[in-house]
Amino acid sequence: MNLRLDFFQRPDVLLIARELLGKRVSTHIGGELTSGRIVETEAYRHEGDPSITLHLQRKRQQAQALYRAGGHAYLYTVYRVHTLFNITTHDAQHPDAVLIRAIEPLEGQDVMLRRRGLAKPARNLTAGPGVLSQALGLTPALNGERVTGPHIWFDDLGEPIADEQVVASSRVGLEYAGQDAVDLPWRFRLADSKWTSPAK
């Protein structure tokens, strides 16, 4: 069942980040279909999160996509190389988002391998936000697009994820935003997945 916009337009970004675990994300780009089961996310919230304030200052132009109602893609580059795939949540007045950090490949693995320049499936195919965007064919050209199709969409696979299956820990690469941002346990991973990005 496709996730509708109202799934992403709820006010609790932490809940949305947690509930995206086990969901399927799909892309249809350049006539090629790829998909993966989400195994790792990070939440970013406008309240109590210094990293968002700094990000809005640093990425002023691209970050305008954060001021769209929940259910839009926010795609931007880091280090001029990697594209990070976020989904806006809540409403247009609250720049909250979920970063998709890792997926377990499902459909179109041959396409993913070609895009990544790899010979066979391995953890580094989609374990990490930059590489999963590359595998799914996501670029900043899709910044601001709805995540309800035709290029990006999410499905509920009917897979219940129990609390004991989820590891909550600090987010990655936020030292620049100070210890308050680093200490927030807003990174969510499936404990038994080999496809999550490396632990800190």
Q: How far is CA 47 from CA 34, 38, 93, 183, 187, in A?
A: 34, 25, 12, 15, 16
Compute the distance between CA of residue 15 and CA of residue 18 in angstroms, rounded to an integer: 5
Encoded tokens for 148: 């309800």
pLDDT of residue 99: 96
pLDDT of residue 36: 98
pLDDT in tens, 155-181: 999 999 999 999 998 888 766 666 767
Are residues 103 and 36 in contact, defined by beta-carbon separation less than 8 angstroms?
A: yes
First to last CA, the chain: 34
Question: What global pTM score does this model have?
Answer: 0.94
Strands (E), 46-95: 73-78, 82-89
Where do the domains of the chain lie, and which CATH numbers do they carry? 5-190 (3.10.300.10)
pLDDT of residue 183: 81
Residue 119 predicted with pLDDT over 70: yes
pLDDT of residue 63: 76
Residue with tokens 């969510």: 188
pLDDT in tens, 6-53: 999 999 999 999 999 999 999 999 999 999 999 999 999 988 777 777
Q: Which of 59, 61, 147, 141 is nearest to 100 (CA)?
A: 147
Encoded tokens for 146: 């709805």
Compute the distance between CA of residue 117 and CA of residue 75 in angstroms, rounded to an integer: 22
Backbone torsion region of residue 71, taken as left when φ is above 0, otherwise alpha when ψ lies between -120 and 50, otherwise beta: left
Compute the distance between CA of residue 39 and CA of residue 159 in angstroms, rounded to an integer: 12
Q: Which of 151, 149, 153, 120 is nearest to 36 (CA)?
A: 153
Are residues 25 and 35 in contact, defined by beta-carbon separation less than 8 angstroms?
A: yes
- Give the model's confidence band at 182: pLDDT under 50 very low, under 70 low, under 90 confident, else very high: confident
Q: How far is CA 90 from CA 12, 67, 112, 135, in A?
A: 7, 10, 31, 27
Listed ranges 39-43, 53-57, 119-123; the one with the highest mean pLDDT = 39-43
Q: Which of 179, 168, 166 is nearest to 22 (CA)?
A: 166
